[in-house]
Structures are given as structure tokens and as C-alpha cells.
Amino acid sequence: MGNGTEATKIPNNRSQIDQWKSIMFLYDSALKEINTKIEILNSEFVHIYGHTPIEHIKSRLKTPNSIVKKLKRAGHDVTIQNMVEKLNDIAGIRIICSYTQDIYQIADMIARQSDVTILHVKDYIRNPKPNGYKSYHMVVTIPIYLSQGPAETKVEIQIRTVAMDFWASLEHKIYYKFEGNAPASLQAELKACAAVVDMLDDKMFSLNQMIVSLGEEQKE
């Protein structure tokens, strides 16, 4: 799926601030490129099937403080080179969809883009994290075409349902509230909620199937 373009280069003949600005410009541009692709794919889906699989899209760039903390937690020196090479989620896009089945269809549509290269995938839906977290993660690169040529730039894409996103948002707040050491009772309740989220996703999909079926019967 890649096109052989070169990975992100860091200009060594410029100041650290200029290098930082150049790199963050690439990540910001990559977010815009991926966002546009997803919006077009979503519009095509509506055109073909008459409904949208995507509820909404969120995108963000990691802050300098978050980048520094993550590098330090992983035991890396805080350098621009390490930032580019070691971190995959500086540019991140989250796609929120209606049903679990939509997640894999959206991921497949993204993977089929000729200029998108899949670096790796983590399927936390079929293989949830121990705490109950479920989501589909893709790390991709996309070429950003500059005056001196294309630069492959990494973007992390997370795809999850509305219910999964609600759970993950709460888990995120608890994680930072207790600095990763939440009481065992709270962790158990959170994991129990993850099971409820699974049931809700299944029920909502079944309900949608029933609505579609009734609609087709009315047309006959």
C-alpha cells in the first residue's frame, strides 16, 4: 500500500524550535489529509448505502508536555528524533461509529487507500485490554507533499462505537484522577461496565436490524 516515499526527515541545519515547528506542521497536515479521506469515504458510503457509518470524527495533536511525559515514561531521551521515531500517536484521529460491524468496514476502506501505508494494527475489540478497554487502533503513514518532495508522516487512527467511546472517556478520567492506581473496587466496577457496553452494542445492532427489516417489509 505504500508508494516508496521517504520517512519524515528532520532538518539538522536548523534550530530546535524551527525543527519542532516543521515536524508539527507535518503532523497537522497529515491530520487534515486523513480527515479529508475519511469524510470522502463517508460521503461515498451514504451515496451507495443510504446511511452513514460514522457518527463523528475527532482529531488532535499531542501537546509538547504530553510528548515529553510519554518519552520519559518509556525511558527515552527527550529529543525530536525520538519523538518522531518512538511515538506513534502524536497525530491522532478517533472515528466514532454506530455499530461494531461498522468498525471493520471503515478500517478496510482506509486500508484500501493507495497512498496509506499500514504500519501496524491493534484490535482491542477481539482482544480487549485486561481492564475492559475496547477499540480498534491503526498506525498509518501518509505522504505529505511539500516543495522538496513527499514526507511520510505517522497518524494513529482509533475506531470505536459511541458506547465504547463513552466507556473509554470515563476510564481516561479515572486513570488520570488516580494517576494509574485506581482502587481495585473502582477498577472492578469499570470492567463490569465494559460488559454492559458490549451488551448495549449488541442490542442496538439487533434493534437496527429489526428496523431495517420492518422497513423492507413495508415497501413490499
CATH of the domain at 128: 3.30.460.10
Q: Which three cell numbers stand for residue 129?
A: 485490554
Q: Which three cell numbers stand for residue 198?
A: 458490549
- With respect to residue 152, please indicate whether it lies within any of the assigned structural domains: yes
Number of residues that this document lists for the chain: 220
**DSSP class of 7:** B
**DSSP class of 80:** H
- With respect to residue 142, please indicate whether it lies within any of the assigned structural domains: yes
- With respect to residue 183, please indicate whether it lies within any of the assigned structural domains: no
Alpha helices in the chain (DSSP H): 16-49, 64-73, 80-86, 100-111, 162-177, 184-219
Q: Are strands 136-146 and 54-61 parallel, antiparallel or unpaired?
A: unpaired
Place of cell 507533499: 145
Query: Is 0.75 surpassed by the pTM of this model?
Result: yes
Q: What is the tens place of the pLDDT at every residue in 196-205?
A: 999 999 998 8
The candidate with the shortest Cα–Cα distance to 101, out of 214, 201, 215, 199, is 201
Reported as a pLDDT band with limits 50, 70 and 90, residue 50 is confident
- With respect to residue 5, please indicate whether it lies within any of the assigned structural domains: no
- With respect to residue 191, please indicate whether it lies within any of the assigned structural domains: no
Q: How many domains does the chain have?
A: 1
User: Rounded to the nearest 10 degrees, how much is the dihedral formed by the CA atoms of 41, 44, 46, 50?
Assistant: -140
Q: What is the tens place of the pLDDT at every residue in 145-163?
A: 998 899 999 999 999 999 9
- Calpha distance 132→96 (Å, rounded): 18
- β-sheet bridge partners, residue 160: 96
3-state secondary structure of 161: strand
- Please tell me the predicted confidence (pLDDT) of residue 9: 57
Mean pLDDT (the chain) is 89
Query: Residue 78 in contact with residue 66, Cβ under 8 Å?
Result: no
**Residue range of the domain that includes 90:** 16-163
| Residues contacting 165, CB < 8 A, separation 6+ | 94, 96
- With respect to residue 215, please indicate whether it lies within any of the assigned structural domains: no
- Calpha distance 50→159 (Å, rounded): 21
- With respect to residue 199, please indicate whether it lies within any of the assigned structural domains: no
Q: What is the tens place of the pLDDT at every residue in 106-133?
A: 999 999 999 999 999 999 999 999 999 9
- With respect to residue 71, please indicate whether it lies within any of the assigned structural domains: yes
